[in-house]
Amino acid sequence: MSGRPPALFPLFADIETLEGVGPKTAKLLQGVGIEAPRDMLFSLPYAVIDRRRRDTIRGAAFPSTLTVEITVGAHRPPSRRGGAYRIHVEDAQADFELVFFHARDSYLARILPQGSRRVVSGKIELFDGMAQMVHPDHVLPLAEAGDIPDFEPVYHLTRGVTQKTMFKAAQSALARAPDLEDWIDPEQKARQGWPGWAEALRAAHAPEGPDDVALTAPARERLAYDELMAHQLTLAIARARERRAKGRETHATGRLQARVLAALPYDPTGAQTRAMQEIAADMARPNRMNRLLQGDVGAGKTLVAFMALLVAVEAGGQGVMMAPTEILARQHLEALAPLAEEAGVVVEILTGRDKGAERAAKLAALARGDIHVLVGTHAVFQEDVAFQDLRLAIVDEQHRFGVRQRLELAEKGVRADVLVMTATPIPRSLSLAQYGDMDISVLDEKPPGRKPVKTAVVSTARMEEVVDHMRRAIAEGRQCYWVCPLVDESEVSDLTAAETRFKHLRATLGEGVVGLVHGQMPPAEKDAAMARFVSGETRILVATTVIEVGVNVPDASIMVIERAEIFGLAQLHQLRGRVGRGEAESTCLLLYQPPLSESGRRRLEVLRETEDGFRIAETDLEMRGAGDVLGTAQSGLPRFQVADIERQVALMQVAQSDARALLAADPTLEGARGRAARGLLWLMRQDRAIRLIAVG
């Protein structure tokens, strides 16, 4: 079954084939992603208007939308240009006015002749004690009044398209919805009380009250599940294919790992041990590993990553660890160096800064296998970089690093295993939507010795007190980060904020004590300023958010974040994670500029209450929505028309396990339910997945 099933052809016809959609409307609809009748089916109404007819407006609560039969009385055209045209009307028990602006007199005389009977429907409000209906939605002779539905669905509109057009187009699309074989597990369908597919669509487009447009309405829930199922099925197919992709068996001897573990001043946490075992087991299998290592700030990802690299080296191969920026690559190197020394392993770094003879020497050593572990930026992608035997590629911070790069990297190695690390705790729903094709290891315990960070929320009005606090802290030999906000998009003001604060602190606390790092500095200057701070020469580092990810200065025990209310929650959590890495008690001061908005206050309160990154991420998701949390542009999140991934996590989990179970039982989707599932993939435009199965 290679092509789209004929039953679906009418749904993928031209959008202009729908009733009431001409070339102009078609263009407007295409602008919002409605390109075929199929898209119209999934553009569900978001509200419903009760247009059931009543005898009179008397006793109704105003303002409200009412439908009544009326007798048309006197017309009062406007006394001045642009004024209101009023028509006095009466229902069975009360009288009110119909009001029009900018309407032609002749048109109103034609549709509402004095003395005639009409049915009108629209919003009635009180104005100066008189009930009035401004621009009724419907004005019809009694014979045609049946055209007004009792419950009228309300669709999201795009400029230039009316409700009437949307309603007509939706009805016309529904008329073509075929009855398809069901792809949902019959037991689950019965348990949830879900209707069949076509029946669910008809019900969703004909709501009879507010409950019918809620996410929990059975018809809507079923259609949401269809979307989630198609998405998870696509991920499951990609995952099954990855797993079939020939990898190599990389068997650990444990020799080098034992040396490192023996030298550690503490025992790894249960979560670290579990993750190490999961990774080693994956690497020993003949299929390619595709695993995500997710850990909160300070959960000890570095140790787990290094142990994975040692598995590759113990088996006689090499490993590579990639970071999005040079500063981070150097930090990985610094973090790995002492561990590598214990193990007797050669670690080297390769970035865009390596040139000429030095670069050539590194490349030669890499090709000979003299370098066991390479740390680098995307410079390791360049054509001339060749490994002797690359077994494992570790990618840091997935979301700055697309799937394409993951594949390019894997191509470097002969079928290398891939481990992606992220320090951003991702709520369950998003990790399912974004990483559903990967296996996930979560580090959810803090290693021993990490002290909690005291967090305080302070108004900028108390700036001088804060600076005094700094003076005392420096005198005690402590170090401090002072983060300035990106005030707006322009680099200039971001710079000014940091430079102004730098000058102010330097003037108050003395020359040579305060350093500055910002995004506009040449890399060499930035590194030099960082180096002075790391060595303890400068005691305070004023910075824009370039220090956000991964910087490690154990003596820094104070983090001041200026204008904390304009930062995102995840970012604040990451920044706070830069302190609390050494022996000293650590503090994080969130400086805000009053007055605080409701959401600003809530963000700062959550941070003050908890250090659990997963809880913080869930709150962030509730407050901002999925697209914002991941940055919609590169989030790689699917665009769902019906499903809401934030509020339907449980549904997504069921879809994932169902999709994986279906594929395990019927890998080529040839069985009865498998064939129905293929129909679903075509319906949801997941043709790519079908091609993968065919090639599989």
Please write the tens of the pLDDT for every residue from 568-593.
Answer: 787 888 888 888 777 778 999 999 98
Residue 633 pLDDT > 60: no
What is the model's pLDDT at position 212?
A: 93
Q: Report yes or no: 351 and 524 within 8 Å, Cβ to Cβ.
A: no
Residues 474-477: contacts with CB within 8 Å, 24+ apart? 474/509, 474/513, 474/539, 474/540
Query: Please, which residues have CB within 8 angstroms of residue 669's CB and are 6 or more apart in sequence?
Result: 662, 663, 675, 677, 678, 693
Question: Does the domain made of 453-610 have the CATH classification 3.30.565.10?
Answer: no
- Is the confidence at residue 141, as pLDDT, over 60? yes
DSSP strand E in 164-305: where? 290-295
pLDDT of residue 14: 93
Identify the weakest region by mean pLDDT among 146-150, 653-657, 686-690: 686-690
Asked whether the bond before 595 is cis by omega within 30 degrees of 0, the reply is: yes
Helix axes 649-665, 672-683, angle to 10 degrees: 130
Q: How many residues does the chain have?
A: 696
CA distances in angstroms from 545 to 285, 415, 515, 551, 575, listed in the order given: 41, 37, 14, 11, 8
Three-class DSSP category at 614: helix
What three-state secondary structure class fits 458?
strand
pLDDT of residue 549: 46
Report the distance separating Cα 587 and Cα 580, nearest Å: 8
φ, ψ at 252 (rounded to 5°) = -80, 150
Stronger pLDDT, 467 or 409, i.e. the higher one: 467
What is the rounded CA–CA span in Å between residue 561 and residue 544? 10
Percent of all residues in the chain with a pLDDT value above 70, rounded to a whole number: 90
Question: CA of 57: how far to CAs of 85, 93, 123, 323, in Å?
Answer: 21, 8, 11, 68
Local structure of residue 129 (DSSP, 8 states): T
Tell which wins on pLDDT, 390 or 553. 390
- Which residues face 99 on adjacent strands? 86, 134
Q: What's the whole-number mean pLDDT along residues 10-33?
A: 91
Question: Is the CB of residue 579 less than 8 Å from the CB of residue 559?
Answer: yes
Cα separations in angstroms, 415 against 250, 288, 483 = 11, 7, 42
52-148 and 453-610 agree in CATH topology: no
Per the CB < 8 A criterion, the answer to whether 375 and 347 are in contact is yes
Mean pLDDT of 540-547: 77
Which percentage of the chain shows pLDDT scores above 90? 47
Summarize pLDDT for 168-225 with one digit per residue, the tens.
Answer: 999 999 999 999 999 999 999 999 999 999 999 999 999 998 899 998 999 999 999 9
Three-state helix/strand/coil letters over 498-509:
HHHHHHHHHHHH
Residue 636 pLDDT level (bands cut at 50, 70, 90): very low
pLDDT (mean) for 323-339: 85
Confidence of residue 166 (pLDDT cuts 50, 70, 90): very high
Residue 634 has pLDDT above 50, yes or no: no
Q: Where are the beta strands (DSSP E) in 323-452?
A: 347-350, 373-376, 390-396, 417-422, 439-443
Alpha carbon distance 207, 192 (integer Å): 19
Alpha carbon distance 62, 396 (integer Å): 58
Provide the mean pLDDT of the chain. 85
Q: What is the pLDDT of residue 411?
A: 60
- Predicted pLDDT at 632: 38
Tell me whether strands 151-154 and 318-322 are parallel, antiparallel or unpaired.
unpaired
Mean pLDDT throughout 446-474?
Answer: 87
State the Cα–Cα distance between residues 227 and 654, nearest whole angstrom: 12
pLDDT at 618 over 90: no
Q: Write b or e for each residue in 191-216: b if 16 or more Cβ atoms lie within 10 A of its Cβ, otherwise e.
A: eeebbebeebbbbbbbbeeeebbeee
Strand partners, 295: 443
Based on DSSP, count helices (H) and strands (E) in the chain, helices before strands: 25, 22
What stretches of 352-450 show up as alpha helix (H) in DSSP? 356-368, 403-412, 428-435
pLDDT at 647: 77
Beta strands in 23-92 (DSSP E): 47-50, 53-54, 64-76, 84-90
Instruction: Classify domain 255-443 at the CATH topology level.
Output: Rossmann fold (3.40.50)
pLDDT band for position 293 (50/70/90)? Answer: very high
> Does pLDDT of 487 surpass 70?
no
Q: How far apart are CA 658 and CA 233, in angstroms?
A: 9
Q: Which residue has the higher pLDDT, 56 or 618?
A: 56
Neighbours of 273 (CB within 10 A): 14
Q: Does the pLDDT at position 488 exceed 70?
A: no
* Fold that domain 52-148 belongs to in CATH: OB fold (Dihydrolipoamide Acetyltransferase, E2P) (2.40.50)
Angle between helical axes of 218-244 and 649-665 (0-180°, round to 10): 50
By DSSP bridging, strand 117-127 and strand 138-141 are antiparallel
Q: What is the tens place of the pLDDT at every residue in 3-21?
A: 888 999 999 999 999 998 9
Return the minimum-mean-pLDDT range out of 294-298, 319-323, 402-406, 632-636.
Answer: 632-636
Position 624 scores a pLDDT of: 62
pLDDT digits over 371-427, tens only?
A: 999 999 877 877 788 899 999 999 886 545 555 555 565 565 557 888 988 877 777
pTM score, whole prediction: 0.66
Q: What is the pLDDT of residue 319?
A: 94
Contacts of 240 (CB under 8 A, 6+ apart): 663, 667, 696
Question: Which tops the pLDDT comparison, 633 or 161?
Answer: 161
- pLDDT (mean) for 492-507: 76
Residue 245, Ramachandran bin (φ over 0: left; ψ between -120 and 50: alpha; else beta): beta
CA distance 118 to 121: 10
What are the phi and psi torsion angles at 49 (to 5°)? -110, 130
Q: Where do the domains of the chain lie? A: 52-148, 255-443, 453-610
* 523 vs 462: which has the higher pLDDT: 462
